[in-house]
Chain A
Amino acid sequence: MQQNSSSEPIVSLRNVRKSFGPLVVLDGVSFAVERGEVLALIGRSGSGKSTALRCIDRFEKVDDGEIVVCGHRVDRPDVDLRALRQDVGIVFQSYNLFPHLTIEQNITLAPCAVKGMATAEAKDLARKVLVQVGLEEKLHAYPEQLSGGQQQRAAIARSLAMQPKVMLFDEVTSALDPELTAEVLKVIEQLAADGMTMVMVTHEMGFAKGIADRIVFMHRGKVHETGPASILTSPTTPELTQFVGTGNLKS
């Protein structure tokens, strides 16, 4: 993927603060993601990774600071949510496929309802994105007929069908056993190879090391250490040293 050095980052957070009541969850978080870059958010449970990710797609409103995503000022109250969410794809740990719709209907719904795409065109697109995640034979299945790994891949395909400029993943493999995890990670790897810009919260340190262009290690609501994937093998702060040393760095 060609990087256009003159362009703005796809995602940028500057000094973002967010509290839930008295609990400060994001305490001045800053990082940026360039086009085509893969950023892995890592850190202990409760360090604010999910919250940071959710702020990018405005599932949480920030208290202070600036978030710009594909040109949208996400921190502003007048942000065009519909436009923002067409540019951003998000995939959750719990897949959240719509149970009453077939995989094809799950995928075609948003392109048809949001973008006004014709049904025939949307069906072609559904086939295309399902091929991308290796699930073309499940077009007419219902979610409950799929394994967890297959459901997660279908959820990724559903997101891809909106042709987002950036994809957010929040521990998308945490609910899966190792074998199913591998098949989902393979799909994400392929996406990265195709040049998709991605921000992923992950506990799979081996995977993060292999795929991420940059690591953001969060600790107590702050970006505690950041750098290329090599920081996982030679961390500088004692916290990251401890984090990668406590069995988190597998594979």
Chain B
Amino acid sequence: MSLQLDFPAVLERWPSFLAGAVLTLELAAFATVLGALLGTLAAVGRGTHNSLIAGACKIYVETIRNTPLLVQIFLVYFGLASLGLKFSAFTVAVTALTINVGAYTAEIMRAGFEAIPRGQIEAAEGLALSRLQIYWHIILLPAVEKVYPALTSQFVLLMLASSVCSQISAEELTAVANYIQSDTYRAFETYIIVAVLYVILSLVMRAGFWGLGLVLFPRRRRLGTPL
């Protein structure tokens, strides 16, 4: 028995692979930005004294973290459809991924908020800063800094997990691969190429987050302390 690999037959479909990779990156980018916002708000919400808001945020986080992503995607997909709303597969995918990663972000950000020493907040209160100003100027950036590695790993994981969006025929990388392998009967080659592409996308994202870290945390850059 010999393994016969025919990469050229698959590689000639490179424009499709490229389009799929770009779409995967777009999905990840949208969901990362929106999920970071949603998750931060949910983390703030869980810390408020309003038990209604705190409870709602807790239910959201726990529900999402205890159900499979694919089921969440179907719920959004069929849920919107049964309301008579028609959205593109891309929009549905971004929505579901945002809701998903928002819950994980909320947990990570909560840990970040809790790591801010009480004295920092008291000092800010003593300077007459408002609750909102304290979150914005004193808590947010140091909290993100404390959890940055966990946070960015979560967003890379999200990009990888977005492959299940192929199930609702969003034309991302895995969907493209499914299509190509059924067309060429070269499944193994196809998925080897797809795996390599996912690795590249991960590296691209990690490089992006590294660069963003330099911008967000100038003190680290100045003092040369790595994250």
Contacts and interface: CB of A to CB of B under 8 A. Distances in A.
Interface of A: 57, 59, 81-83, 85-86, 88-90, 92, 94, 96-100, 109-110, 113-114, 142, 144-145, 155, 158-159, 162
**Residues of B contacting A: mostly:** helix
Contacts of B145: 100
A89 B142 CA distance: 24
Interface size classification for chain B: 20 to 34
Interface stretch (B21-29, B129-137, B183-191): B129-137
Interface of B: 117, 119-120, 122-130, 133, 137-138, 141-142, 145, 217, 219, 222-223
**3 closest A-B pairs (Cβ-Cβ)?**
A96-B123, A110-B127, A85-B128
A206 B116 CA distance: 36
Given A85-B126, A92-B122, 13 more contacts: A59-B125, A82-B128, A82-B130, A96-B117, A96-B119, A98-B120, A99-B142, A99-B219, A110-B128, A113-B129, A142-B222, A142-B223, A159-B126
Contacts of A110: 127-129
Given A100-B145, A100-B217, A100-B219, A109 B127 contact: yes
Contact of A114 (B123, B129, B141): B129
A144 B223 contact: yes
Contacts of A155: 123
Contacts of B219: 99-100, 142
A100 B129 contact: no
A98 B128 contact: no
Nearest to A99: B142
B190 to A, nearest CB: 47
